[in-house]
């Protein structure tokens, strides 16, 4: 094992710098991962743009991490072994002690780190991780394919499982980006009538190819009216954080329909209580999920042929990859790959 490794850290808000760090030794209940790929997520923007300059050493972002176990700390369960390919998502491993853990609600653990935010993430060749946050990666998925599924994949897969729709029901996906392009694939393979809601003609062909039966262009028509003309959507997945647009779209829900919120916006969501009460409609938020949920998502992706559409760049070009993600031009996920920079 090499004594030093390369990492992209955030020394001040909005800045990524390539540094060398000494390879750490995993503590009790930890493993050291030799990273092979790390996805760049929209949520990374908060970790990078709002970085704390006083934090020393500066934080390493990235929470869609796939690699191989290089070293084991004491007390790690025998299910994990050196050389095994594993992943880590946004939730960095539950504590097993809080009230939520005692109820088996590990995704709601109050004492787990947020990878790339409260602990170092995967924009690096090496990364420490709690064993309770580890996800087993199927052999059928390349590391760069698996990485975005650990966040964008599980977020949309779990949201669809919670949405209350049954096979044949209309499910709308609002926002055809990093999350939305995964949601369309899962929704189609789950047997829903899939409606993609986006802005402009340029995304229409992609949306239909990814699994949509219908594409609604919000530049040309009111999405809520179009959904009601179809009888209303049993579920709407809001993958973007434009609260005003999401609020208006709620009028497209069928009676007893559910709005599932995935995108986090700065502004409050405006909800017409009469619309909720009269039609028994509901609004719920959905977090990513547990490592077990992640393994279910990966397994379904293999079984149903769901894959993220990705672009890759090497670690040393992380700043370029991050800016490309922010521009919205990437279709649809950026992934950093590790290896010899030469």
**What does DSSP assign to residue 342?**
-
Cα of first residue to Cα of last residue in the chain, in angstroms, is 19
Can you state the angle between helices 180-189 and 154-162, rounded to 10 degrees? 50
- Pick the closest to residue 30 from 130, 136, 112 (CA basis): 130
In this prediction, residues 80-89 reach a mean pLDDT of 98
pTM metric for this prediction:
0.95
- Residues 279-330 have pLDDT tens digits of 999 999 999 999 999 999 999 999 999 999 999 999 999 999 999 999 988 9
Q: How confident is the model at residue 241 (pLDDT cuts 50, 70, 90)?
A: confident
For residues 187-214, give the mean pLDDT.
96
Please state the rounded mean pLDDT for residues 147-161.
97
* Range of weakest confidence among 79-83, 265-269, 311-315: 265-269
Position 50 scores a pLDDT of 94
Residue 228 clears pLDDT 50, i.e. is over it: yes
Residues pairing with 119 in the sheet: 115
Confidence of residue 340 (pLDDT cuts 50, 70, 90): low
Per-residue pLDDT band for 142 (boundaries 50, 70, 90) equals very high
pLDDT of residue 341: 46
pLDDT band of residue 84 (cuts 50, 70, 90) is: very high
- H or E segment and range at residue 29: none
- In this predicted structure, the answer to whether residue 36 has a pLDDT above a threshold of 90 is yes
pLDDT exceeds cutoff 80 at 342: no
**Which residues, other chains included, contact 204 with Cβ-Cβ below 8 Å and sequence gap of 6+?**
198, 215, 217
Reply yes or no on whether the pLDDT at 25 is more than 80.
Answer: yes
Mean pLDDT of 235-246: 94
Identify whether 100 is preceded by a cis peptide bond (ω within 30 of 0): no
Predicted confidence (pLDDT) per residue in 102-118, tens digit? 999 999 999 999 999 99
Q: Can you give the pLDDT at residue 328?
A: 87
Percent of the chain at pLDDT > 90 equals 93
The per-residue pLDDT for range 4-20, each reduced to its tens digit, is 999 999 999 999 999 99
Rounded Cα distance between 261 and 325, Å, is: 21
Q: Is the dihedral of CA 152, 154, 157, 163 positive or negative?
A: negative
Map out the domains of the chain with their CATH numbers: 4-137+309-337 (3.90.180.10), 153-285 (3.40.50.720)
Phi then psi for residue 178, to 5 deg, are -60, -45
β-pairing, 170-174 vs 233-238, is: parallel
pLDDT in the model for residue 266: 82
Q: Look over the chain and give the mean of its residue pLDDT values, rounded to a whole number.
A: 96
Cβ contact 129:92 at 8 Å: yes
Strand-pairing partners, residue 17, are 9
Cα–Cα distance measured from residue 233 to residue 250, given in angstroms and rounded to the nearest whole number: 9
Beta-ladder partners of 214: 195
Say if residue 102 is preceded by a cis peptide, omega within 30 of 0: no
Q: For residue 327, report the phi and psi dihedrals to the nearest 5 degrees.
A: -70, -20
Check whether 259 has a pLDDT greater than 60.
yes
- CA 185 – CA 156 distance, rounded (Å): 10
35 pLDDT above the threshold of 50: yes
With 0-12 / 13-18 / 19 or more C-beta atoms within 10 angstroms meaning exposed / middle / buried, residue 222 is middle
- Whether residue 206 is predicted with pLDDT greater than 80 in this model: the reply is yes
Q: Which of 203, 196, 204 is nearest to 172 (CA)?
A: 196
- Confidence check: pLDDT of 275 > 50: yes
């Amino acid at each position: 094992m090499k004594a030093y490794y390369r990492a992209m850290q955030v020394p001040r808000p909005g800045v990524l710098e390539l540094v060398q760090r000494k390879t750490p030794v995993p503590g009790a209940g930890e493993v050291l991962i030799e990273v092979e790929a790390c996805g760049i997520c929209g949520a990374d923007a908060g970790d990078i743009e709002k970085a704390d300059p006083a934090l020393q050493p500066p934080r390493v972002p990235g929470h869609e991490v796939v690699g191989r176990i290089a070293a084991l700390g004491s007390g790690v369960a025998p299910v994990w072994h050196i050389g095994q390919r594993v992943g880590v998502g946004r939730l960095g491993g539950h504590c097993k002690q809080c009230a939520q853990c005692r109820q088996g609600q590990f995704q709601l653990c109050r004492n787990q780190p947020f990878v790339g935010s409260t602990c170092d993430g995967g924009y690096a060749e090496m990364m420490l991780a709690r064993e309770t946050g580890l996800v087993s990666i199927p052999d059928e998925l390349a590391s760069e394919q698996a990485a975005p599924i650990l966040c964008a994949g599980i977020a949309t897969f779990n949201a669809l499982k919670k949405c209350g729709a049954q096979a044949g029901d209309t499910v709308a996906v609002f926002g055809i980006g990093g999350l939305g392009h995964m949601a369309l694939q899962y929704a189609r393979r789950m047997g829903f009538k899939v409606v993609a809601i986006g802005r402009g003609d340029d995304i229409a062909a992609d949306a239909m190819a990814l699994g949509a039966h219908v594409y609604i262009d919000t530049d040309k028509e009111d999405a809520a009216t179009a959904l009601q003309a179809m009888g209303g959507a049993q579920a709407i997945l809001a993958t973007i954080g434009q609260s005003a647009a999401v609020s208006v779209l709620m009028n497209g829900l069928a009676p007893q329909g559910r709005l599932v919120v995935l995108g986090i916006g700065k502004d409050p969501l405006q909800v017409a209580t009469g619309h909720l009460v009269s039609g028994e409609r509901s609004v719920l938020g959905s977090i990513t999920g547990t490592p077990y949920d992640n393994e279910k998502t990966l397994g379904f992706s293999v079984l149903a042929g769901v894959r993220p559409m990705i672009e890759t760049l090497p670690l040393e070009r992380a700043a370029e990859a991050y800016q490309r993600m922010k521009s919205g031009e990437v279709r649809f996920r950026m992934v950093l790959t590790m290896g010899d920079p030469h």
